[in-house]
Amino acid sequence: MINLAVAGYVLGAGDPTVAAHLPVVMTDLPVALLSATAVVLATRAFSSWSWPDLALCSAALGLALGTKHSAPIFYIFVALTGGVLAIFVPVTRAWDTRLLRFGKLFCVLLAAVVILWSLYFFRFRESSTDNEAFNRPLAAKTGDVSSPAYQFVLTQMAAAHLVPRAYIWGFADTVHAGLEGRAFQQLAFGHLYYARAPWYFFPGVVAVKLPIGLILLALSGLFLFLTGRFPRHWNLPAAVLLTGLFCFFLVLRHGATYAGVRHALPAVPFLAILAGLTSHIL
């Protein structure tokens, strides 16, 4: 499955949408590649439960967290995937227990957060003083968020020092502008939308941007999976891959539209991997 994922990345590298981001110094392409890598490695890690596989998954996940504030979507997904597989994958070895699996899952998630802290030199404050060095205080930035639930999570993260303060500031901006919607008009599919667009906006944007051949290969992969044409040992990785793609679009369904395909870029590696699976069979 890992080799096929590499083939998928090769297909994605030739995509004009991906190639257009290569010379641009932005975080969207790195977080897309690292998040997809973490999901692919998670399937292998939570099937074998071997420490080398778990370490690779944790490294990819931690680097994704440090790349962009949208990566927590995949952090949560990897955590849920590990929990589900820890429970439902049969225990076949004497030393392997479900309790040990949950302990290993905790180590994967904790190590990813440690990697994030290392990128901030293990400092909670963004400067050497207690004063905030932002253009707006963190409390004001958190106050911009409309949802009481999101506000509670952000304030508790800051109070518990779970991640660096600068990361919480950026995460608050991502929640407010990306999930709740920025005051921005967008003309899409013949209609003018304000702040938010319908659920099919991001799938439609991805469909418009990707080459037709890649889309057909990805849709063929979906058909092959649903009709049981994949080899048996591909079923679990493909199911995790498709579930991760679905969850990502689920989060984006009411998201802000101002960045267009840039916000949906993590979907491209997932589709490229699916296309790679199809090309291997065909």
* Phi, psi values for residue 165, rounded to 5°: -60, -40
Burial 226-241 (b: 16+ CB within 10 A, else e): eeeebeeebebbbebb
pLDDT tens digits, 182-200? 666 777 777 777 667 777 8
Q: What is the pTM assigned to this prediction?
A: 0.85
pLDDT tens digits, 206-230? 888 888 888 999 999 999 999 988 8
User: At residue 181, does pLDDT exceed 90?
Assistant: no
Residues 6 or more apart whose Cβ sits within 8 Å of residue 245? 267, 270, 271, 274
Residues of the chain with pLDDT > 90: what percent? 48
User: At residue 1, does pLDDT exceed 60?
Assistant: no
Specify which residues 186 forms β-bridges with.
193
Measured between alpha carbons, how far is 123 from 66 in angstroms, rounded to an integer?
Answer: 14
> 233 or 132: which carries more pLDDT confidence?
233
Q: Specify the pLDDT at position 240.
A: 95
Q: Specify the pLDDT at position 218.
A: 92
Tokens (6 digits) for 106? 């905790």
User: At residue 23, does pLDDT exceed 90?
Assistant: no
User: At residue 34, does pLDDT exceed 90?
Assistant: yes
Tabulate helix, strand, coil % of the chain (nearest 5): 70, 5, 30
The DSSP code for 120 is: T
Mean pLDDT of the 171-188 span: 76
Tokens (6 digits) for 166? 């600068």
pLDDT tens digits, 118-161? 999 999 988 777 777 777 888 888 988 888 998 999 999 999 99
Cβ–Cβ < 8 Å for 232, 1: no
Cβ–Cβ < 8 Å for 26, 68: no
